[in-house]
Amino acid sequence: MPALEAAGHEPIPFTLPGMGADRADAAAVTLDDQVDAVVAALDEAAVDGSPVALVGHSGGGTVIGVVTDRRPELVARAVYVDSGPLAEGGSINDELPIEEGVIPLPDWGFFEEEELAGLDPAALDAFRARSIPTPAHVANDAVHLGDERRWTVPTVVVASTMSSELLQQLIAKDHPYVREIAKLHQVRYIDLPTGHWPQFSRPADLGAAIVDALS
């Protein structure tokens, strides 16, 4: 936030449905519910003609990918932090254990070592204490897309767990994870070598990377 504000941007942090004061009803929240909420916020932010960028991390990248499909004419830039847009029919993660309609943060053993890079035990403890379960529908629902103009939106991928070199190797192999990225007309990569949560492991550097992405 400080880096974005210092660069003259007006960041709007957004709490997705089912992950704020309404979390008691999270089991009923769908991926479309989260997409619709961001679309409404985008419509409001763009009403005066100001350019609006979307920034999404991890599963939030899937959300902004669908929002970009819904409103390609309003998205000045899409920035994916260790994530990317999913192709038609994909889902964020349908392998995580579900408890009463939500997905709590798994045990650390669930993650690969490189995903946790940069997080010491104290950071992991703080992370878990602040974690909020994800609505199961959001992680499991299939992505549905319909407007190919989404491919024309300028896009930046902040690569942290996977390097940009590895991502481009996956693109060359037509890996499903990056199939939608491969169709983008204008995509730029910024490498930020750390784990999956640069907002915890290297927050100042992530802020600088997002400022760079919006330049």
DSSP 111: S
Q: Are 65 and 143 in contact (CB under 8 A)?
A: yes
| Residue corresponding to tokens 């319909």 | 146
Hey, what domains does the chain have and what are their CATH numbers? 2-213 (3.40.50.1820)
Distance CA 121, CA 191 (A): 25
Question: Which tokens hold the place of 13?
Answer: 């942090």
Question: Which tokens hold the place of 185?
Answer: 């007309």
Q: Between vectors from CA 17 to CA 13 and to CA 20, what angle results, nearest 5°?
A: 70
pLDDT, tens only, 142-160: 999 999 999 999 999 999 9
Segment 187-199 mean pLDDT: 98
Segment 106-133 mean pLDDT: 96
pLDDT, tens only, 126-145: 999 999 999 999 999 999 99
Structure confidence at residue 23 (pLDDT): 93
Structure confidence at residue 87 (pLDDT): 96
> Mean pLDDT score of the chain, rounded to an integer?
96
Structure confidence at residue 33 (pLDDT): 98
Instruction: Read off the pLDDT band of 35 (50, 70, 90).
Output: very high
- Nearest CA to 63 out of 37, 89, 96 is that of 37
Q: 55 — phi, psi (to 5°)?
A: -125, 125
Query: Is the pTM of the predicted complex or chain greater than 0.75?
Result: yes
Percent residues over pLDDT 70 in the chain: 100
Structure confidence at residue 4 (pLDDT): 96
pLDDT, tens only, 77-99: 999 999 999 999 999 999 999 99
Query: How would you class 51 by CB atoms within 10 Å of its CB: exposed for 0-12, middle for 13-18, buried for 19 or more?
Result: exposed
Structure confidence at residue 52 (pLDDT): 97
